[in-house]
Amino acid sequence: MIIVLNNKCNLNKEEYLKYIEEINAIDSQSKLVLCPTFLNINITPPTNVSLGAQNVSAKSQGAYTGEVSANQLKSFNVEFCLVGHSERRIYQKETNKEINSKIKRLLDKNITPILCVGETKEQKEKNQVNEIIRQEIIMAIEDLTESEKNKIIIAYEPIWSIGTNKIPKSQEIENILKQIKLLLPNSQILYGGSVNEKNVDTLKKINLIDGYLLGGLSLKTNDLKIFLKKIEN
Ligand code: PGA
C-alpha cells in the first residue's frame, strides 16, 4: 500500500523536526510518501519515507516569482508530487491545462505525479461525478505517451469529503475507481478525504484501493500508527 502524508500548510521548522522523530519511530511495511511544505523539504526527511512535494510549477524555470520547479524538487531528492489537489484548484484557481503542464514537467524529471481528482457536493447531487472525474483525468493526461500515463498515480478525493469526516458509500467509491481503471488500467489508485483509523475498517474492504492520501491524519502520529497497523493486518 502507498500511504501519502499530506502535511498541507502545517508544521513550522521546530514542529517538523519533532514530527520527523515521531515518523521515524513508526514501523510500517507500507510505502510512506511524506509531502511537507516546500521549506521543510530542505530538511533531512525521516529514514522510512520517500519524499513528496505538494505542488510544482507548470514552467520549467525562469522569471516566475514564487514558483518552485520540478528540476529544483529533483535536486532535493523529491520522488513524488501532488498535482491538482482540490485546495489548489479552488484557492489558486488551478486549471486542468496547467495541471497537464505540471504533470509533463514532473515526468521530464522522473518525479511521479499523484493526480488528485474529485467532485464537489453540488456535482455529486447533480449526478455528474463520473463525467467530472473523466474530464479531469482526460485533460490532465493530454499528449502523454502510454508509458508516461502508466507512471501517474491517481488520488480520488471527493471534495466534500476532505476534512469533513464524511466519506462516500463503499459502492460509490468502487464505481468511481472502476471508471478510473478503465481510463488508466495500469495506474495505481489512492483514496483520500477524511480517511482515519476508524473508517479504514470499511475502506479496507474496497478491492481497487492501492493506498490512501491522508491530510489531517498525517499530523496525528499516534492515530496514524493505529491506521497503519489496521491496513497491514
Ligand atoms: P483530509 O485531507 O484527510 O484531512 O480529509 C485529505 C487531503 O486533502 O489530501
Residues 68-127: tens digit of each pLDDT = 999 999 999 999 999 999 999 999 999 999 999 999 999 999 999 999 999 999 999 999
Query: What is the DSSP pairing of strand 153-156 with strand 211-214?
Result: unpaired
Asked whether residue 149 carries a pLDDT value surpassing 90, the answer given is yes
Contact 174, 206 (CB under 8 A): yes
pLDDT tier at 233, thresholds 50, 70, 90: confident
Asked whether residue 232 carries a pLDDT value surpassing 90, the answer given is yes
Give nearest CA residue, ligand 1 atom 6. Answer: 215
Q: Is 205 left (phi over 0), alpha (psi -120 to 50) or beta?
A: alpha
Sequence-distant (≥ 6) Cβ neighbours of residue 189 within 8 angstroms: 153, 154, 155, 156, 177, 180, 181, 208, 209, 210
DSSP 32-47: EEEE--HHHHTSPPPT
Give the percent of the chain with pLDDT over 70: 100
- Nine-digit cell string for 113: 505525479
| DSSP symbol at 163 | T
Cα dihedral sign, 181-184-187-190 = negative
Asked whether residue 229 carries a pLDDT value surpassing 90, the answer given is yes
| DSSP symbol at 29 | S
- Cα(49) to centroid(ligand 1), Å: 19
pLDDT tier at 221, thresholds 50, 70, 90: very high
Atom from ligand 1 closest to the CA of residue 217: 3
Locus of grid cell 489496521: 230
Query: How far, in Å, CA of 139 to CA of 4, rounded?
Result: 24
User: Average pLDDT in the 180-200 region?
Assistant: 97
* Best residue for ligand 1 mutational test, from 214, 219, 224 (most atoms within 8 Å of Cβ): 214
pLDDT tier at 230, thresholds 50, 70, 90: very high
Range list of H helices, the chain? 13-24, 38-41, 70-75, 86-91, 96-108, 121-125, 129-140, 146-151, 170-183, 200-203, 216-219, 221-232
pLDDT tier at 179, thresholds 50, 70, 90: very high
- Cα(155) to centroid(ligand 1), Å: 11
- Cα(62) to centroid(ligand 1), Å: 32
Rounded mean pLDDT of the chain? 97
| Residue range 12-64, pLDDT digits in tens | 999 999 999 999 999 999 999 999 999 999 999 999 999 999 999 999 999 99
Give pLDDT, residue 48. 96
Contact 115, 139 (CB under 8 A): no
